[in-house]
Structure 1
Amino acid sequence: MSLPHHPLHRRLALIDMGTNTFHLLIVELPEARHAQPVVLLRTKVGVRLGEGGISKGHIAPEPYARALHTLAGFKEEMELHQVTDVRATATSAMRVTANGPELVKEIFEQTGIQVEVIAGDREAELICAGVRQAVPLGPQPHLIMDIGGGSVEFIIANGQTIFWKQSFEIGAQRLLDRFFPDASGVIPSEAVAAEKEYLRTVLAPLAAAVAEFRPVGLVGASGSFDSLADMQLGRLRTEAELPPSSELALESFRRSYAQLLSLPHEERKALPGILPMRADMLVVAAILTDYVLELTGITHLRTSAYALKEGLLAEMLQAPPRA
């Protein structure tokens, strides 16, 4: 049921164009300061923008077309909900590909949506702001981790302060292309070892930051962590069903990780709680998560359904109201 529309109400659409998934959040902003925005729509589409090209530095024709088609669908939803303001951000795939700027231009020409391509550091900041809306971090430092298709953001923060943050271009699509290009079978143990060796080198700055700030818990904010929480539950939840945050038992993660490593693609796809398009990327994402758990010794895991777009909303609500 849609809310009665008042012409003075601001309705805001927040679009997060990730390398795997495009997210759309439509909210009605309250007139009263400090009141909570009302969520009118929360949806996502698996675009797989990085498929077949991100490791070669370009967006392949099929994902390019899927992106345009998805944004046209988002435009329809925005019109339906009488949106007054739009903020659209794009991350790794659009940041590093030769034809990313061309796609930004074509999206604007076809839909009137102006996409802002944001840097990795800014992405990490917004993810942290979003996670804080879902998880009360308190005074102790936590490690926040967002595994995208193109990049992975790590942030060490508590409720007030970001102590350290860095974005690494080692997202799940890139890891898949590099270590597991044929994902139809069971991932060989040599590939797992090779990925972990690679992570040891690339994530040296993370190891140094962890040693310095000693985070007490891990908060995972991305589709991979939603999938691990769904596997723990034994069923796939819709976007609307996801609570802002869930506890992810370490035993449950270990069980899911063992299953993912021991099954071929078709059987992985059939596991309860897995979105078919994530069946392969989830393997490399789980190896990365396992590596981070080994590195940090952390045993307390939470998931956050909130990330970049909720961070953007939180930031906008803190901004002074427009005249």
Structure 2
Amino acid sequence: MADLSPPDKDRRSGAHKGKTSGKVADFRYKRPAPTDKKSPGKRPARRGDSRQGQPHRRQAYAALDLGTNNCRLLIARPSGENFTVIDAFSRVVRLGEGLAKSGRLSDEAMDRALGALHVCADKLRRRNVHLARSVATEACRRAVNGEDFIERVRRETGIVLDIISAEEEARLAVLGCHVLLEDGAGPAVIFDIGGGSTELVLIEPGGRVPRILDWQSVPWGVVSLTDTVGRVEGESEVRSARYAEMRRVVSESFAAFAERIAPVAATGTDIRLLGTSGTVTTLASVHLELPQYDRRAVDGLIVPSTEMRAVSARLAAMSPRERGGLPCIGNDRAELVVAGCAILEAILDIWPAERLGVADRGIREGILRSLMASETAAAAGRQARG
């Protein structure tokens, strides 16, 4: 097959069109500060109060992630150093469908995403969210009409989406799932296979938050890779050739990162791997032969890499109908899961860890932790000044 060029070649720098990333939150949903000091239910803070400098346990925080394939919302309240989820929403919207070829978000895709965002806006209002952050990723970064869509979302739903850079997307994914890394002293790679891009991050464990040593984002996710290379369907030989082409395309995009981390990977000393995405959670479900998806069984699971490769090869060899008949895949994922398998195998090629950790958490959890940490820091600053 002919060589395929990535739609966006400048990936390491995280360059993208649109607004500068870094807004703290969508303040539409921030509860106004009370002006009446005698407001019921609001007691004044006192020196020595153990709850000063920390988010109030009853305040709700929200994280919304509009990706290339999914729209996801998480609403939670602080609980010690962690948080308790009080509401969640996820819907496949296929915002990036056809984007790889047209360079634009289609009217149908935008309408689907807006339908999901209206549901999210209603949940944010009903849950009386104190602070929220809403982000958009690869599809809106890449689309020539991405900014127009962001404005339409603001106008019709009140949600202000922040188009984050690939670098911040990688950072948030690490922040959201690094706690699930296997214990060990060796280096680790955390990856996030999305709908329109894949982020790989080399980290140095230690401390409450690992230090990022290197990272790369490539414009291949389950949607963009499928749209560009083609669906894995037809006769067995055709499916095999198309899967091989997917792996080649992704491996070429990983080449620069692979070269940089090769000396670390070659040590073979306790190297660890953790993945967050629908791909790894789906493959883990198939590995466990679950009759239906169960987050409790999957989140934090450690699977031998050879087993994940075996599942990937098995799915790639199946027809779309056979894949759709598997309980944890179904027709919605049958078309895209093979691209995820190709990306996963390319990652295992460059980072040959013996085991793969599976995380059903990522960007949204990273956003929530960032919001709560920023509130803690702000409250501590107010206490110091007072």
- Give TM-score scaled by structure 1 length: 0.89
Q: Deviations over 1:233-259 (max 9, x none)?
A: 222655764654211233432332232
Q: Deviations over 1:112-145 (max 9, x none)?
A: 1110000101111111111113335653211111
Verify the 8 A CA contact 1:54 1:97 in the aligned structure 2. Answer: no
Equivalent of 1:169 in 203, 212, 219: 219
Equivalent of 1:205 in 238, 248, 256: 256
Distance 1:296 1:119 in 2: 24
Q: Deviations over 1:245-285 (max 9, x none)?
A: 21123343233223212211111111132143221211011
Q: Deviations over 1:174-208 (max 9, x none)?
A: 11112224746655222223223222322111211
Q: Deviations over 1:258-317 (max 9, x none)?
A: 321221111111113214322121101111211222233222111111111111222222
Number of aligned positions between the proteins:
315
Does structure 1 residue 18 correspond to structure 2 residue 75? no
Alignment correspondent of 2:290: 235
Q: Runs ≥4 in structure 1, deviation > 6 angstroms? A: none
Distance 2:93 2:180 in 1: 25
Q: SS where residue 29 of structure 1 aligns?
A: strand
Does structure 1 residue 117 correspond to structure 2 residue 163? yes
Does structure 1 residue 68 correspond to structure 2 residue 114? yes
Alignment correspondent of 2:328: 273
Distance 2:332 2:146 in 1: 23
Percent identity at matched positions? Answer: 26
Closer, same or farther: CA 35–220 of 1 in aligned 2, 3 Å = closer
Q: SS where residue 82 of structure 1 aligns?
A: coil
Verify the 8 A CA contact 1:13 1:26 in the aligned structure 2. Answer: yes
- Structure 1 gaps, min length 5: 1-5
Alignment correspondent of 1:310: 365
Closer, same or farther: CA 316–106 of 1 in aligned 2, 3 Å = same
Distance 2:128 2:297 in 1: 25
- Structure 2 gaps, min length 5: 1-40, 43-55
Verify the 8 A CA contact 2:65 2:71 in the aligned structure 1. Answer: yes
Closer, same or farther: CA 213–224 of 1 in aligned 2, 3 Å = same
Closer, same or farther: CA 212–316 of 1 in aligned 2, 3 Å = farther
Does structure 1 residue 45 correspond to structure 2 residue 91? yes
| Structure label with greater radius of gyration | 2
> Counterpart amino acid of 2:279?
S
Alignment correspondent of 1:3: none
Verify the 8 A CA contact 1:15 1:22 in the aligned structure 2. Answer: yes
Q: Deviations over 1:9-58 (max 9, x none)?
A: 3211110111111111001235xxx4432210233111111112344211
Verify the 8 A CA contact 1:19 1:48 in the aligned structure 2. Answer: yes
Q: SS where residue 338 of structure 2 aligns?
A: helix
> Counterpart amino acid of 1:171?
G
Q: SS where residue 111 of structure 2 aligns?
A: helix
Q: Deviations over 1:143-180 (max 9, x none)?
A: 11111111100001133321111111111111111222
Verify the 8 A CA contact 2:292 2:327 in the aligned structure 1. Answer: no
> Counterpart amino acid of 1:274?
I
The Cα RMSD (Å) is 2.3
> Counterpart amino acid of 1:189?
S
Q: SS where residue 200 of structure 2 aligns?
A: strand
Closer, same or farther: CA 138–127 of 1 in aligned 2, 3 Å = farther
Verify the 8 A CA contact 2:239 2:317 in the aligned structure 1. Answer: no
Distance 2:229 2:170 in 1: 25
Does structure 1 residue 321 correspond to structure 2 residue 378? yes
Deviates most, 209-218 or 53-62:
209-218
Closer, same or farther: CA 35–122 of 1 in aligned 2, 3 Å = closer
Structure number with higher relative contact order (C-alpha < 8 Å, ≥ 6 residues apart): 2
> Counterpart amino acid of 2:334?
A
Distance 1:69 1:260 in 2: 32
Deviates most, 297-306 or 129-138:
129-138
